[in-house]
């Protein structure tokens, strides 16, 4: 057996599922947000949000420092994008 974190999926709780949905939603919005003037930057930011959401949705752990950084990024984007 492998000892990789990718082989140790765990059940997805309500909190992780909600966080994954929120990250996907913000990732989708970022791609259309005119406040990020360079489309490549918006695309890469969206990619980070979607990739983290996929990990959470599949029951895989995300290192706490990375998770905090992605939450902070998503929160800042959410505040910036609100009318």
Q: Per-residue pLDDT tens for 8-52?
A: 567 888 899 999 999 999 999 999 999 988 999 999 999 999 999
CB 36 within 8 A of CB 76: no
The pTM of the full predicted model, rounded to 2 decimals, is: 0.84
CB 31 within 8 A of CB 42: yes
- Inform me whether the pLDDT recorded for 57 exceeds 90: yes
| Cα dihedral across residues 53, 54, 56, 61: positive or negative | negative
Distance CA 29, CA 24 (A): 9
């Amino acid at each position: 057996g492998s000892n990789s974190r990718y082989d140790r999926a765990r059940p997805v709780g309500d909190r992780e599922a909600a966080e994954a949905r929120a990250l996907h939603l913000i990732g989708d919005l970022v791609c259309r947000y005119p406040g990020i003037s360079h489309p490549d930057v918006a695309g890469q930011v969206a990619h980070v949000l979607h990739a983290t959401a996929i990990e959470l949705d599949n029951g895989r752990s995300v290192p706490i420092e990375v998770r905090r950084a992605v939450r902070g990024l998503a929160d800042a984007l959410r505040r910036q994008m609100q009318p």
